[in-house]
Amino acid sequence: MSSTRIIKANGIELFVREQGEGPLVVLCHGWPELSYSWRHQIPALAAAGYRVVAPDMRGFGRSQAPDHIGAYTIFDAVGDVVGLVGALGERQAVIIGHDWGAPVAWHAALFRPDLFRAVAGLSVPPPFRGRSRPLETLRAGGIENFYWQHFQTPGAAEAELERDVALTMRAMLARGFSDPQSLFVALDKGFLGDVTPDLALPAWLSEADLAEFIAAYRASGFRGGLNWYRNIDRNWELTAPWQDAQIRQPSLFIAGSEDAVVTGIIGAKRVQEMTRVLPDLRRKLIIDGAGHWIQQECAAEVNAALIAFLREVAPAR
């Protein structure tokens, strides 16, 4: 069984789930998720001989949520996982991230190759730092209603998502971003669009699982996670020294074929060209028919791929 505790790292308190002994594996979740999103991976990787630690990322769940929007840059998030590795008394780790956790994992590997010996990203391809700020690039392309843009005004998205947290979490997790149009916001319908409380849950998500997310977001609200989106252009500015840099550690990519994040306007090209950034990409696994919440939806396949990768790059003692 996994245990939980609070660990101080990088000046904030992080709630973590942990299990197992062996080489350290850090699991970084995305939005709007929690360390609970890794509930199928933590015991499986621990049983395979690894020390597995999954934090609620800053601003999420039971971890601290700084007030200042500028406290949610990619440097802050990577600083948290660097601090976490140190606080755990370890000198190296394999880092794995899903959704927003994937950019954290990719950048952690990019910034600290001495610390992160290998990296896996789920559902979000590695960083391609473009020639202009991402939000400017969208506007220049005539796009005004992409969800990144919708999340920029402090308080607006929070009001929509917090109006009925149970309905929000049911809509977000049950629909899974399978339709590329789900990433675009109809101004008269908001981000959630047309959703009803009787929306059926997929087979991989139980009512008890959903209740975990609902309880957490009722307690924390959505501001912390949304602040990650409010640093997208700032992240572009901060990462200028890594223009065209490669992540040279062994890497793995996993996504679902029905995930709009990897089939849409930004993701599809990045998936095709990821070896430009990942010269030691060991495997690109696209799971047919799967959506965005890949490690929850296809736990057995994801676990098998992760364990095979870990045995290559960090054999358990």
Annotated catalytic residue: which of 56, 76, 80, 99?
99
220 token code pair = 């924390």
Q: Closest Cα partner for 71 from 80, 83, 62, 84?
A: 80
The torsion angles phi and psi of 225, rounded to 5 degrees, stand at -65, -40
* Residue whose C-alpha is closest to residue 52's, from 298, 308, 282, 310: 310
Closest CA to 158 of 285, 280, 59, 264: 59
pLDDT at 130: 87
Which is the catalytic residue, given 98, 107, 150, 292?
292
Beta bridge partners of 97: 28, 121
Confirm whether 76 is a catalytic residue.
no
In the predicted structure, residue 121 carries a pLDDT above the cut 90? yes
Band of the pLDDT at 32, cuts 50, 70, 90? very high
Average pLDDT over every residue of 164-182: 84
**CATH number given to 3-313:** 3.40.50.1820
Per-residue pLDDT reduced to its tens digit, 213-246:
999 999 999 999 999 999 999 999 999 999 999 9
Alpha helix ranges (H) inside 176-231: 207-220, 223-229
Q: Are 50 and 25 spatial neighbours (Cβ–Cβ below 8 Å)?
A: yes
166 burial class (0-12, 13-18, 19+ CB within 10 angstroms)? middle
In percent, how much of the chain has pLDDT > 70? 98
* C-alpha to C-alpha distances, 184 to 172, 179, 192, 215, nearest whole angstrom: 14, 10, 10, 27
Higher-confidence residue of 202 and 186: namely: 202
| 180 pLDDT higher than 70 | no
pTM: 0.97
Give the per-residue pLDDT at 8. 98
- Please give the Cα distance from 308 to 176 (Å, whole number): 26
**How far apart (Å, rounded) are the C-alpha atoms in residues 297 and 30?**
15
Domain boundaries, the chain: 3-313
Query: Does 73 have pLDDT greater than 90?
Result: yes
- Which value, in Å, is the radius of gyration of the alpha carbons in the chain? 18
The secondary structure of 2-55 as a DSSP string is -EEEEEEETTEEEEEEEE--SSEEEEE--TT--GGGGTTHHHHHHHTT-EEEEE
Is residue 178 very low, low, confident or very high in pLDDT (cuts 50, 70, 90)? low
What are the φ/ψ torsions at residue 58 (nearest 5 degrees)?
-55, 135
Helix (H, G, I), strand (E, B) or coil at 145: coil
Q: For residues 129 and 237, give the distance between their C-alpha atoms in angstroms, rounded to a whole number.
A: 10
99 is catalytic: yes
